[in-house]
Structure 1
Amino acid sequence: MQIAQILAGYSLGEADLLRRAMGKKKKEEMEQQRARFISGAEAKGVPATQSGAIFDLVDKFAGYGFNKSHAAAYAVVSYQTAWLKANAPVEFFAASMSLDIANTDKLSVFYQDAKRFGVKIRAPDVNRSGADFDVEEGEVLYALGGIRNVGLQAMEHVVEVRREGGAFRDIFDFVERVDPRQVNKRAFETLARAGAFDSIHPNRAQLLAAADLLVSYGQTVASGRASDQMGLFAGTSHDNEALRKKMPRTESWTPTERLDEELAAVGFYLSGHPLDDMVEALRRKRTDLLADVIPKAEAGAEAFRMAGVVRRKQERASQSSGEKFAFVTFSDPTGEYEVLFPPEALRKCRELLEPGKAVALKVRAKARDGEVRFFGDDCEPVDKAVANAVAGLRVHLAPRSAEIDALKRRLEGVSNARGGEIILVSAVEGGREVEMKLPGRFTLDGAVRGALKTAPGVVFVEDL
């Protein structure tokens, strides 16, 4: 603006119009301003060729330019941010996540970055977490307010109730003490899905099944408290015991179900990953995880087999050919990465590239300027990719505590003549073990492995 005033005789108002025209980049306006600038400069004795060149320089700088004070300020902020991340990473991530507490996509990026930095982020817990992100014992406590659809104000109420009356003893104590107008049924169910009640009631599936019962009980207690006409036993251990007897008997979710529900509540996988139980099988099939691929790609390797759960897909049309290509975001146990599927590959793989599906894929990696980009060539269901990776599973059972019916239910519908075998192992007196091979063969994918691991009485599961 000062250049236009001094060199071409612009008034302050005219200089501001020039600034706006340069910002909008409208051709007609710019041509008018160029003519005005050159004529004004000629009146001050500046040749048209020279003033035209100066106008072009100003126009180019306006496209993306910083004055020195602006650049210096950004440099200082960048240095301070880098210093904080390097020297106080736990506090840095807690503060960054607090700033974007309502943005699930940003929280997911910070969570993955924190994992790479070795910063532990604790899952939300009604007896430990604050409404906002916090730091405790060198760890980030995930904010209750960072859970989807619960409301920051409602979670501030939960924290205040805990501060005044101490930690919640169990789920019945929780619904008795919180205001049901603040923590309604939807918020209660979302907290359960996110695992926020795990420390006082680890069976998330049972909480979802009993949500109506528990919320209704809380409303009754709250109504009595408000009217100061509570019955002799209202909100006491007598009521608790009666409520416990009404709680539906519900099997815990399998790991896959648990993570799916957690994903819906939090927006990303927080306590685990659907591919955790398949990592060894994937490695046997020479499939790499993101953390393994990055250094190999930076060293010059290009072709990889990878695996992941589809998180997002964005299709676009090529400006030249009109054909569709897609940017697909995948998640594996070590992080998230984006893959570009060109038109031909997208046509082959489109049905598999839907959010929530687990796939194995062939990619080409290109490392440049410290960044690794991926290009997809082909993909297939991850279960097919790891088929026959192991001959079978050995399931170790705790003596006298295994529930065979629960094991049977977890194996319903997974018989597969080309699958693997399952052997049950249980300790008996004298330090001996008894093995029993189940009849038939089974599909041994990640879902089956996870389901067996969480069956009552199962100590651990190992590959044959």
Structure 2
Amino acid sequence: LIDMRPDRFEDIIALVALYRPGPMANIPTYCARKHGEEEPEYLHPILEPILKETFGVIIYQEQVMQVAQQMSGYSLGEADLLRRAMGKKIRAEMDKQRVRFVDGAVKNGVPKDQADTIFDLLAKFADYGFNKSHAAAYALVSYHTAYMKAHYPVEFIAASMTLDLNNTDKLSEFRAEAQRLGIKVEPPSINRSGPTFEVSGNTIFYALAALKGVGPQAIEMIVEARNKGGPFTSLADFASRVNPRAINKRIIETLAAAGAFDCLDKNRARVFAGADAIVAACQRANEAATSGQNDMFGNAADAPAIILPNIENWLPAERLRREYDAIGFFLSGHPLDDYAAALKRLRVQSWAEFSRAVKTGATAGKVAATVVSRMERRTKTGNKMGIMGLSDPTGHFEAVLFSEGLAQYRDVLEPGAAVLLQLGAELQGEDVRARVLHAEPLDDAAAKTQRGLRIFLRDTKPLDSIVRRLQGPEAASGNGNGASAKGTTAPPAPRAAAGEGEVSLVMMLDLETEVEMKLPGRFKVSPQIAGAIKAVTGVVDVQQL
């Protein structure tokens, strides 16, 4: 399009027909002739009115038929048989058609040698000629959608996402395109999202009906309750107003995992675990309303109390994994986001960078990814092979590994794991085919590059949670001696999980006073641990050193 600089609808039709393997070799010729850099060539004057629109380049099947009609006296029915014979390369039929074409052309004053040359030219182009009526229809849709995307990009992408509501691969692509264009895609919200993708300014609100296992009918009933009584103020309010036919345990769990209840309770783990209690409260409220248990003013009974389990929120990696299960891709972030500094130190390519490198001749590279799926199957020789579904912040991709690699790295390549991969690759058409040469846990690789953590606090409340995350699941807590300042009690010194990193706690006592306490021992201080500590309520910041 940039080379062509189209100024008429016919140019777009031509490009739709040309932009395919085979005919795309003629795009430079078309563009050069359009802009007067090259003169159109017509082997015979009869061809000029037929090929003038495309500057002498045979593009459409209809042009092949018109040449046969005008030059050799074919009926349109005969011309269609010629087109089919040329496309299928049926030798006997082609020989028969050549005699018919050349004889007809000679009767119209065309020299026999020239008629033979023109027949060969038609046969060459008929092999991949495109039907113009199809190209015109595609061109019109392309022009309309290009106009909409150029002038109404937010609305266009939201409408495209609604069209592919149940196709998470497509939704992931559209979301990535929205990011590229600087358009914000807000995670689903029970108080803001609708059944379809909605727009406000430069923001797209994620559709509740696009979540896995949540049907449009259920969402329409929830939105109807919200529209009728205003935004939900609590989970109890939600349960008291929503029709119990709209929800079940699975729907509540999916909405919680996707973050749809964050506006009512930010602890997704607690809401997820309390799905049964929410459904039961909804049923009780409905039974009370239908049995006439109203207060003296005629309003529905008070919202039933919901007692949720008192559990800690999911760690960032777990939160994103659950979100992936509910949405189909990573929406609010990516598990590798915490590793950005470590990946830079490890000189790791993104999948997008690696793909571009392969297309320019590279055959291997180092890539970090989250394993989202693993499928094993037998090859024709009976050996096992693995097909890994992988993801990084630039996209989803697949890589294969064969029996030896599968046996060696099976434990490392578990779904949900963050891994550092050495990939080999080759280009097949436009697709990059990758295979795993080496794999290791990304946490282990990143920990080797990290010197330590500095954790900023305002008080001592988060200390127990920090200690647990530093110790790892196997370590026991212990008490050590520490400094204190202005009545601040030093934290217990945790037994260090195996590692090489130093950890310091910085207590921010006021705007001008900070007390830094270095914990004894060495710790494993991977980006995942840093992210887990940063998620602790009361932690102001975590610096990775």
3-state SS of paired residue (2:244) = coil
Relative to the length of structure 1, the TM-score reads 0.79
Q: 1:59 to 1:292 in 2, by over 3 A?
A: closer
1:161–1:21 CA distance, 2 compared to 1 (3 A): farther
Correspondence 1:403 to 2:484: no
Q: Deviations over 1:38-58 (max 9, x none)?
A: 9999xx9x9xxxxxx999999
Cα offset for 1:454? 1.3
The amino acid that maps onto 1:395 is I
Q: Which of 420, 442, 445 pairs up with 2:523?
A: 442
How far residue 188 of structure 1 moved from its aligned partner, in angstroms, is: 1.2
Structure 1 Cα separation of the partners of residues 192 and 174 of structure 2: 21
Residue 459 of structure 2 corresponds to residue 459 of structure 1: no
1:232, 1:146 → 2: CA distance?
Answer: 38
Segments of 5+ residues of structure 2 without an aligned counterpart are 1-60, 107-116, 475-495
Identity of aligned residues (%): 43
> Mapping of 1:163-312 within 5 angstroms?
163-225=227-289, 227-230=290-293, 232=295, 236-237=301-302, 240=304, 243=305, 246-290=307-351, 304-312=365-373
Residue 422 of structure 1 is matched in structure 2 by 503
Q: In the alignment, what sits opposite 2:39?
A: none
Alignment correspondent of 1:49:
none
Give the Cα–Cα distance (whole angstroms) in 2 for the partners of residues 84 and 429 of structure 1: 53
1:426-463 CA deviation, whole Å, 9 max, x = no partner? 12368322223334332222331221111121111002
Instruction: For 1:357, give the aligned amino acid.
Output: A
Does the aligned pair in 1 maintain the 2:186–2:204 contact within 8 Å? Answer: yes
Deviates more, 1:439-448 or 1:287-296: 287-296
User: Is this contact kept in 2: 1:288–1:307, CA < 8 A?
Assistant: yes
Q: Residue 264 of structure 1: CA displacement?
A: 0.8
* Distance in 2 separating the partners of 1:323 and 1:161: 56
Contact 1:145 1:152 in 2 (8 A): yes
Query: Which residue of structure 1 lines up, in the alignment, with residue 422 of structure 2?
Result: 362
Equivalent pair of 2:369/2:420 in contact (CA under 8 Å): yes
Q: Which is richer in strand?
A: 1
Task: Measure, in 2, the Cα distance between the counterparts of 1:325 and 1:15.
Answer: 51
Q: Distance in 1 between matches of 2:325 and 2:431?
A: 29
| Counterpart contact for 1:325–1:341, Cα < 8 Å | yes
Cα deviation digits, residues 272-331 of structure 1 (max 9, x gap):
111111111121122233465567777877754221112355678888x88777664432
Deviations 1:249-271 (A, max 9, x none): 12111111111111111111111
TM-score normalised by structure 2 residue count:
0.68
**Contact kept in structure 1, 2:450 and 2:526, CA below 8 Å:** no
Matches of 2:224 and 2:523, distance apart in 1: 51
Inter-partner Cα distance in structure 2 for 1:85 and 1:323: 48
SS in 1 for 2:189: coil
CA distance in 1, matches of 2:308, 2:398: 46
CA contact 2:342–2:527 (8 Å) conserved in 1:
no
Structure 1 CA distance, aligned partners of 2:195 and 2:286? 22
| SS, match of residue 386 in structure 1 | helix
Give the Å deviation of 1:187.
Answer: 0.7
Shift in CA distance, 64/317, structure 1 to aligned 2, threshold 3 Å: farther
Deviates more, 1:342-351 or 1:105-114: 342-351
Gaps of 5+ in 1: 47-52
How far 1:72 moved relative to its partner?
2.1
Q: Distance in 2 between matches of 1:115 and 1:356?
A: 24
Which letter maps to 1:212?
D
Whole-angstrom distance in 2 between the partners of 1:428 and 1:388: 33
Aligned residues: 449
- Shift of residue 131 of structure 1? 0.5
Following superposition, the deviation at residue 409 of structure 1 comes to 2.9
| 2:472 matched residue in structure 1 | 412
Q: 1:124-143 residue pairs with structure 2 within 5 A?
A: 124-143=188-207
TM-aligned CA distance change 1:59 to 1:152, over 3 Å: farther
Q: What RMSD, in angstroms, separates the aligned Cα atoms of the two structures? A: 4.5
8 Å CA contact retained: 1:329, 1:336:
no
How big is each residue's C-alpha offset from its partner over 1:327-361, in whole Å with a ceiling of 9 and x where there is no partner? 6443222x115355575995576524454322112
Distance 2:446 2:505 in 1: 22
Q: Which residue identity lines up with residue 314 of structure 2 in the other structure? A: W
- Where do residues 8-407 of structure 1 align in structure 2 (5 Å cutoff)? 65-225=129-289, 227-230=290-293, 232=295, 236-237=301-302, 240=304, 243=305, 246-290=307-351, 304-312=365-373, 328-333=388-393, 335-338=394-397, 340-341=399-400, 343=402, 346=405, 351=410, 352-363=412-423, 373=432, 375-376=434-435, 377-399=437-459, 402-407=461-466
Larger RCO (alpha carbons 8 Å, 6+ apart): 1
Seen in structure 2, the aligned counterparts of structure 1 residues 68 and 359 have a Cα distance that, compared at 3 Å, is same
Indicate the structure (1 or 2) with the bigger Cα radius of gyration: 2
For residues 206 and 513 of structure 2, the distance between their equivalents in structure 1, rounded to whole angstroms, comes to 45
